[in-house]
Amino acid sequence: MADTMTTDNAVRQKARKFVEVLKTTETLPPAKMQIYQRRLQERLVRHAKEQVPFYEKRLDPLFGPKDTIRWEAWTDIEPFSRAEAQAAGDALFARSTPSQAGDYSERATSGSTGMPLRVRTSGLVGLMGFAINQRIFNWHGINPDDSVCFILDDTGKFPYPDGESGANWNLINRNATAHNLSVIYTPQKQAEWVHRKQPDILSTYPRNGAAIVEELLRLGRKISFHTIIVHGEILEEDTRSVIEGAGIRIIDRFGGVDTGSISANCGQGPWHHQFSDVTLMETMPDDSQNANAGKRSTLLMTPFYNYAMPMIRYKNGDLVELSDEPCPCGRTLPRIERVLGRERNLFIFSDGSRIRPDMTRKDYAPFLSAKQFQVIQHTLTHIEMRYVAEDPNQPINILGFTKLLQKLLHHDINVKLTRMDEIPRASSGKFETWKSNIPNP
């Protein structure tokens, strides 16, 4: 989510109109949604085949006699991965774009894998992003007069102790106050800054938000914000417990620079709704060996509005757990029960098995006291658990903890425990609870 809105009145008007369109499309029955999607798909694929070198041959299966679209051949289009997108480079960039798509901007993904992806984004995507933001605020009853503190920037652009203050962070009230601080500072400094600003809403990464809440509680400070909008990381259950345990509502957003907004949690519960009216989302089965892998899927995404760099059947490695259950909110947008992370976070073992790790405080509390942890797979058999002790005087049961990880992960591992005063975030400001250094085949 952008830290400020556009000041262009024409863009704001268009975005508001699109918010009204979204109110209609989010309740469409599946058959009508498919008609809506295919109109947007057709515009995109015709543009991509004509203007984007990467797709000149790749989209051939889709086109029939007299240049008709053969929708039954959609799944014959080969999906492509982030690594393939990186290798394609400029071939994914459109030579020209329709005038209504607007000027493009260029940026890079956070590079959590060590290799950022250059992404060009049509101006139209930004307009849709403003509308999607407002959709999410509407779902959760956000007051457009509320003030917000953003702690997302990782460049040092908004230095402590003052940060930067402005306004215009939502589509309805351009005078609503917004404060910005870079995420590079300690949780103690961030908490002190947030307490001085007294926002109604905090917007940051999940683990960072929980650390700020914990610091404010430790100091006995009254927490002014009623909502945390979280981005960029998986919302772990322990993190959720810290935030919601303090009486703070969570708005959990899922998306990326390369895909745009994918989903957000419904105001009726923690599950997400896919934004299938702005992005076509298909799924591939998760082939890891978790007991419930059958419920898990890898997403294939086709954002409809990025004409500058079309991503058609793009597999960026996001894994989700889906649900066919209808939502009590009445929206027909498909449900994502849980967002699970990236394929790169799968742990791979000596017998070739691939496991998506999962562990809560309830699991490890009998063996060690930790308020934060990070598990790193260094080799096929060597696992390191870094942790920040909650009670330094509590004894550690290393044998019991090793048996726990062997049960959760794989029997053929050895475990090293490393106590730390603080577990550093990545340079992007994000935090990965589970990190594998083994290349994914």
Q: Could you tell me if 299 and 372 lie in one domain?
A: no
Domain closes at, from 343, 369, 397? 343
CATH number at residue 389: 3.30.300
Please check whether residue 1 lies inside any domain of the structure. no
What CATH number has the domain bearing residue 282? 3.40.50.12780
- CA separation, residue 19 to residues 23, 138, 278, 329 (Å): 6, 10, 12, 18
Residue 289 falls within a domain, yes or no? yes
Q: In the prediction, which pLDDT does 297 show?
A: 86
> CA end-to-end span of the chain, whole Å?
33
Domain-located, residue 264? yes
Assigned domain for 214 exists: yes
- Is the peptide bond preceding residue 161 cis, with omega within 30 degrees of 0? yes
Cβ distance 293 to 319 under 8 Å?
A: no
Q: Which of 296, 321, 343 is the last residue of a domain?
A: 343
The confidence score (pLDDT) of residue 357 equals 82
- Predicted local distance difference test score (pLDDT) of residue 7: 58
**What's residue 292's pLDDT?**
47
Structural domain count of the chain: 2
pLDDT value, residue 244: 97
Same-domain pairing of 354 and 335: no
Q: Are residues 429 and 319 in the same domain?
A: no
249 and 379 housed in the same domain: no
This prediction has a pTM of 0.84
Residue 199's pLDDT is 98
Domain that includes residue 117, residue range:
9-343
**Helix and strand totals (H; E) in the chain:** 9, 22
Amino acid at 75: T
3-state DSSP call for residue 107? strand
For the residues of 160-176, what is the DSSP string, one character each? TTT-EEEE--SSS-TT-
Q: How many CB atoms lie within 10 A of CB 113?
A: 15
Name the E strands within 27-163.
80-81, 104-108, 118-122, 148-151
Q: Please indicate, yes or no, whether residues 101 and 141 belong to a single structural domain of this protein.
A: yes
Strand partners, 263: 254, 274
Residue 232 within a domain: yes
Of 343, 367, 387, at which residue does a domain stop? Answer: 343
Sign of the torsion angle spanned by Cα atoms 3, 105, 52, 64: positive
Q: Which two tokens stand for residue 165?
A: 């203050």
Is residue 222 domain-shared with residue 179, that is, in the same domain? yes
Residue among 259, 332, 335, 336 nearest 25 (CA): 332
User: CA 54, 56, 62: angle at the middle one, nearest 5?
Assistant: 115
Residue 428, in any domain of the structure = yes
**CA dist., res. 296 & res. 319, Å (int):** 7
Q: Are residues 131 and 163 in the same domain?
A: yes
The per-residue pLDDT for 293 is: 46
Please tell me whether residues 63 and 32 are part of one structural domain: yes
The beta strand positions in 77-163, using DSSP E, are: 80-81, 104-108, 118-122, 148-151
Give the β-pairing of 104-108 and 318-323: unpaired
Q: Verify that 239 and 383 share a domain, yes or no.
A: no
pLDDT at 258: 93
Instruction: List per-residue pLDDT tens for the chain, 441 residues long.
Output: 555 555 578 888 999 999 999 999 999 999 999 999 999 999 999 999 999 999 999 999 999 999 999 999 999 999 999 889 999 999 999 999 999 999 999 998 765 545 689 999 999 999 999 999 999 999 999 999 999 999 999 889 999 999 999 998 999 999 999 999 999 999 999 999 999 999 999 999 998 999 999 999 999 999 999 999 998 888 988 899 999 999 999 999 999 999 999 999 998 999 999 999 999 999 987 655 454 444 678 899 999 999 999 999 999 888 899 999 999 999 999 999 988 876 656 788 988 888 878 788 889 999 999 988 899 999 999 999 999 998 888 899 999 999 999 999 999 999 999 999 988 877 656 677 888 888 765
- Is the same domain home to 71 and 107? yes
441 assigned to some structural domain? no
Give a yes or no: residue 4 inside a domain: no
**Domain check: are 222 and 359 in the same one?**
no
| 338 and 352 inside one domain | no
> What per-residue string of b and e applies to 339-372 under the rule 16 or more CB within 10 Å gives b?
bbbbbbbbbbbeeeebbbbbbebeebeebbbbeb
